[in-house]
Amino acid sequence: MAFKDLREYIHFLRQKGKIIEIDDEISPDLEIAYISRQATYRRLPTLLFKRVKGYPDWKVITNMFYSINSFYDIFGTDKLEEISKNFIENFMGNMPITLIEKIKSLAEFSKFGKILPKSKKPVFEEESRANLLSFPALKTWPKDGGKYFTFSIVITKDPESEVTNLSVYRVQIVNEKEAIVHWQVLKRGNIAAQKYKRLGIRKVPIAIVNGVDPAIAFIASSPVPPGLDKYLFAGIVRGEGVEVHELDNGILVPSNAESVIEGYVDLDDMRLEGPFGDHLGYYTPPDYFPTFKLEKVYLRENPIFHATSVGKPPLEDAWIGKAVERLFLPFLRLIVPELVDMNLPEYGLYTGIGIFSIKKMYPGQGKRAMMALWGTGQLSLLKMIIIVDEDVNVHDINQVMYAIASTVDPKRDVLLIDNVITDSLDHTVPNPPLGSKIGIDATRKFKEEVGRGWPEEVKDDEEVVKRMSTLLSKIVKAHDLLSK
Ligand SMILES: Cc1cc2nc3c(=O)[nH]c(=O)nc-3n(C[C@H](O)[C@H](O)[C@H](O)COP(=O)(O)O)c2cc1C
């Protein structure tokens, strides 16, 4: 199931009664962000603002990822894991090569024809009068350093592999022709920029795209395994290749986007970005990031602008994190085969706390899994990893608490590591992007780990369970009657 573009998705939401269309005039200066956050907290569906103060030609859409249910609609299934499982089973087989090599080799198979990006004439046209100030960029919190694109997609091309990357990075508008791109050090945008720098190229061609099919917007904000083209990955999850158009600067953009800004990032022009009210619920202080210089703007007729606001959880980024958790679990199992399940809790800030269950088969496996996870993609940002046994439901925080309380000796089972890469938005970090991490091995211990045998867990006598079942049901029924 694939939506052709944002408009087709809006049409779908209208039919399902899952979009609230707002005719009252509302300002992009704090008002849209406030209403949107309140809507997400209240689990209201997507919002379409039809009268945006100061921007009569635009509509603004927010709250597109208002809960995990929005992803069930977008992907046409509530079993997000199955999408990647099927893909792995059907296309990746059991070839004895590494994940990344496997993924790179995928495009060579003819059966991939349907999911490969396809060239298509764009629906947008160049608009010479438009500039960065003509977009309804949001100010999201009172002390934000300016107006921001909060759900625009920054598209870069790796100069070595030519792999295209789409990523959601916030962009702070400076003036008609300049903006600041907030890509963090380990993100693919910055990695590509560093490669251009090594090649002696200081002006990195990019496109800033807004208003696309929600599956593409989601994939842009997801930690797709490095080396894998995000257009190809979007094709995998949509079941249909993305239609693309090549700009004059060589960047491929979705042909059905609402708006496209073509230009380059000037690596010699670093400016102070921020402060910005961020996903931890605090303002991140200003820091230096490179400047984007606009060359051309392309717009669709009556364009729609996609935006969001982050803040204290759970907002849209928390639900994106949940979908990432489900969709990427099967891929993660290729790297950490003992992994059974994972939970990035909504209130754990996505990069704050991760809980993982494993099939433990040998001593030391809990810490081994922890280190493998910290070494995998954006999981390297996780501040706290908790490892539990496979019989613990990672989504039930009480079960996790019990596992920690009943299996952990802090000196033996807690791992603290210092001066490692962390989420640079985390204000608690002493020297961003470097900080410390904590791992808790809350698995039952082997003899080698504890120095003696692990005690036997209490278990009821099966005969007594059978004998008492009728009496127990009677007591439960009596209680139900009393409480009615
Ligand atoms: C609403 C929203 C805003 C985001 N803003 C930023 C940002 O400003 N900088 C950043 O590095 N990542 C940001 N992210 C996270 C990236 O989109 C995410 O890490 C994604 O996987 C891109 O990583 P990649 O470029 O390595 O593929 C944001 C995500 C969301 C959902």
Pocket test for ligand 1, best of 173, 221, 324, 331 (most atoms within 8 A of CB): 221
Asked if the model's pLDDT at residue 95 lies above 50, the reply is no
- Statement: residue 206 has pLDDT above 80: yes
Distance 277 CA to ligand 1 centre (A): 15
| CA–centroid distance for 36 within its chain | 19
Whether this prediction's pTM lies above 0.85 is answered by yes
Span from the CA of 337 to the centroid of ligand 1 (angstroms): 27
Mean pLDDT of 220-224: 93
Best of 187, 210, 316 for a ligand 1 pocket test (most atoms within 8 Å of beta carbon): 187
pLDDT score of 425: 87
Q: Whose CA is nearest to atom 18 of ligand 1?
A: 221
* pLDDT at 94 > cutoff 60: no
What number does the ligand 1 atom closest to the CA of 171 have? 8
- pLDDT for residue 93: 59
In the reported structure, the alpha carbon of residue 221 is separated from the centroid of ligand 1 by a whole-number distance in angstroms of: 5
Distance in angstroms (rounded) separating the CA atoms of residues 164 and 162: 6
Residue nearest to atom 4 of ligand 1 (CA): 169
Nearest ligand 1 atom to the CA of 184 is 11
Nearest-atom number in ligand 1 for the CA of 186 is 26
CATH class in words for 74-306: mainly beta
Residue 84's pLDDT band (cuts 50, 70, 90): confident
Mutate to test the pocket of ligand 1, among 70, 148, 150, 168 (most ligand atoms within 8 A of CB): 168
Closest atom of ligand 1 relative to the 223 alpha carbon: 21
What is the pLDDT at residue 6? Answer: 98
Question: What is the domain partition of the chain in residue ranges?
Answer: 74-306, 336-450
* CA-nearest residue, atom 12 of ligand 1: 169
Look over the chain and give the mean of its residue pLDDT values, rounded to a whole number.
Answer: 94
Least confident interval from 73-87, 110-124, 397-411, 417-431? 110-124
- Please provide the CATH number assigned to the domain covering 336-450: 3.40.1670.10
Ligand 1 centroid, distance to 131 Cα (angstroms): 24
- pLDDT at 387 (0 to 100): 98
- CA 220 to centroid of ligand 1, rounded, Å: 8
Which protein residues touch ligand 1 with a CB less than 6 Å away?
150-151, 165, 167-170, 182-184, 187-189, 221-223, 308, 310, 317, 320, 378
Separation of CA 311 and ligand 1 centre (Å): 15
Q: Considering only CA atoms, which of 307, 324, 318, 328 is closest in space to residue 67?
A: 318
Q: Whose CA is nearest to atom 23 of ligand 1?
A: 187
What pLDDT is attached to residue 130?
96
Q: Cα(484) to centroid of ligand 1, in Å?
A: 50
The Å distance, Cα 463 to ligand 1 centre, comes to 56
What percent of the chain has a predicted confidence (pLDDT) above 70? 95
Per-residue pLDDT of 237-249, as tens digits, reads: 888 999 999 999 9
In this prediction, residue 3 has a pLDDT band, given cuts at 50, 70 and 90, of very high
Confidence of residue 90 (pLDDT cuts 50, 70, 90): confident
Look at residue 99 and tell me whether its pLDDT is greater than 90.
no
Percent of the chain, pLDDT > 90? 86
**Residue 92 binned pLDDT confidence (cut-offs 50, 70, 90):** low
> Could you give the residue numbers annotated as active site?
278
What atom in ligand 1 is closest to the CA of residue 65?
31
Probe ligand 1: pick from 169, 218, 382, max atoms within 8 Å of CB?
169
pLDDT over 80 (residue 173): yes
- Measured by CA distance, the residue closest to atom 26 of ligand 1 is 187
pLDDT of 334 over the 70 cut: yes
- Nearest atom in ligand 1 to the alpha carbon of residue 222 is 21
**Digit-coded pLDDT (tens) for 35-66:** 999 999 999 999 999 999 999 999 999 999 99
User: pLDDT tens digits for 102-118?
Assistant: 555 555 554 567 889 99
Residue 430 has pLDDT above 90, yes or no: no
